[in-house]
Amino acid sequence: MESPSHRVVVVGGGFGGLRVVAGLSGAPVEVTLVDRRNFHLFQPLTYQVATGALSPGEITYPLRAIFKRQRNVRVLLAEVRDFDLDARVVRLGSVSGVPAPEELRYDSLVVAGGSAYSYFGHDDWRAYGIEVKSIESALAARGRLLAAFEAAEATPHADDRDAWLTFVVVGGGPTGVEMAGQIGELALDTLRRDFRNVDPRSARILLVEAADRVLTTFPPSLSAKAERSLRGLGVTVLTGRTVVGIDDGGVVLAGGDGTTERVGSRVVIWAAGVTASSLAGRLGELAGAERDRAGRVTVEPDLTLPGHAEVYAIGDMVRVRDPTGDGRLLPGVAPVAMQQGRHVASAIRARLADRPHQPFRYRDKGNLATIGRAAAVADIHGLKLSGFLAWMTWLLVHLWYLIGFQNRVLVLIRWSVSFLTHGRGARLIGSGSEPR
């Protein structure tokens, strides 16, 4: 099998895909990395772009620049539309008018297409919910958040003002908690002296979570600490509530007892369910592999697609079959995708050298979430941290994993300046972020 022209196609330059490509440095393979974006996005910090703390260029890095010194890598800007697993071909479409080959042939294929937010079957809500998943949606969110304060300042009607200053964040996982905390800081701290007719500190920030506590993947004591920190930032935590409606005037919340309540709001941030990339569905269909309700395809313990030892799927879009035969859901976080990416690179190397390779095993290094200035929670192998120490851990881990030395320096400077001045330098309302 060993051949200098073994073709590896990697779909997706996110956390998983990047580690596969880097792990094949110096290997006797020709790697083609295909992404519909020309950059890697550090998703864990998109919410900071959405709240004006960071600028887009600081959390993204061009894929070509990342691999400019890795001679066996070619980067291709194109969208993957389909696969022919029998013919070992990936079918492509062009992006931004850039011509792309119609198809790419592979000897090994790795698909790491990630996930998107899902609206629990209510796709019409997508028009009203704001997301912080992509750089574009984060910029639109930034514009909508800041425009809401402007609208509140401009409107003469008290009811309208209340609706503009009511921010509803749906989903009490790390992203929802981080977003709610950041809006709290924006209202209580950054903007507090900027307006004349309204007091930004009067903003209502509601964090809605269906479970009985936020951050359900953390121990209950840390959830309680996070809720306390959120309250300190003016956030009202509404647990045990489900969103049953969203329209252009607000949201409808249902309690556990079946009662519903309408909340007038012009800015609803959606940080709830996710659905796998449609590439997972297509692979599942072609290989007859199981898919779960969130569209994730189940791969074998070695991360290959059933019946296709040359096709790997990793990251947010998969479940991994465990030794009992069940599909095990690992958390949808960057470390899972990165470890799977490294595993696949070494599996491809092992296969080329005719060496056996172990099934994938996830090593959980812990859980981190930040709430605001000097406030975070961390659960590292049972060691529970909160407050400043957890925040410093969060900060260092994020700086460490951010791609590009320049970005690390820039983000460190931005965070230090913001910490000292309580400011946020990127508070721009761009076009395309018109309030509803």
Ligand X SMILES: Cc1cc2nc3c(=O)[nH]c(=O)nc-3n(C[C@H](O)[C@H](O)[C@H](O)COP(=O)(O)OP(=O)(O)OC[C@H]3O[C@@H](n4cnc5c(N)ncnc54)[C@H](O)[C@@H]3O)c2cc1C
Binding site for ligand X (CB under 6 A): 11-17, 34-37, 43-44, 46-47, 79-80, 112-114, 132-133, 174-175, 277, 279, 315-316, 332-335, 337
Alpha helices, DSSP H, located in 109-155: 135-154
Toward ligand X, which CB reaches closer, 70 or 134?
134
Q: Minimal CA–CA distance to 227: which of 263, 177, 268, 163?
A: 177
- CB 304 to ligand X: min, Å: 16
- Token output for 396: 């260092």
What single-letter DSSP state applies at residue 359? P
Query: Smallest gap, in angstroms, from Cβ of residue 95 to ligand X?
Result: 8
- Find how far residue 26's CA is from the centre of its chain: 30
Which is closer to ligand X, CB of 38 or CB of 242? Answer: 38
CA quadruple 415, 426, 377, 316: dihedral positive or negative?
negative
Structure token pair of residue 61: 């890095």
Answer yes or no: are the C-beta atoms of 118 and 273 closer than 8 Å.
Answer: yes
> Please, which residue, 170 or 352, has the CB nearer to ligand X?
170
- 214 vs 359: CA distance, rounded Å: 33
Our CB check for ligand X shows the closer of 200 and 315 to be 315
178 is catalytic: yes
Shortest spacing between CB 288 and ligand X, in angstroms: 21
107 token code pair: 């000897």
Closest contact distance (angstroms) between CB of 17 and ligand X is 6
Residue length, the chain?
Answer: 436
The residue annotated as part of the active site, out of 30, 58, 178, 227, is 178
User: Helical H runs in 187-309?
Assistant: 220-232, 278-287
Per-residue CA distances from 200 to 52, 151, 191, 263, 354 (Å): 16, 12, 6, 19, 64
Q: Which is nearer to ligand X, 47 or 128 (CB)?
A: 47
Residues catalogued as catalytic = 178
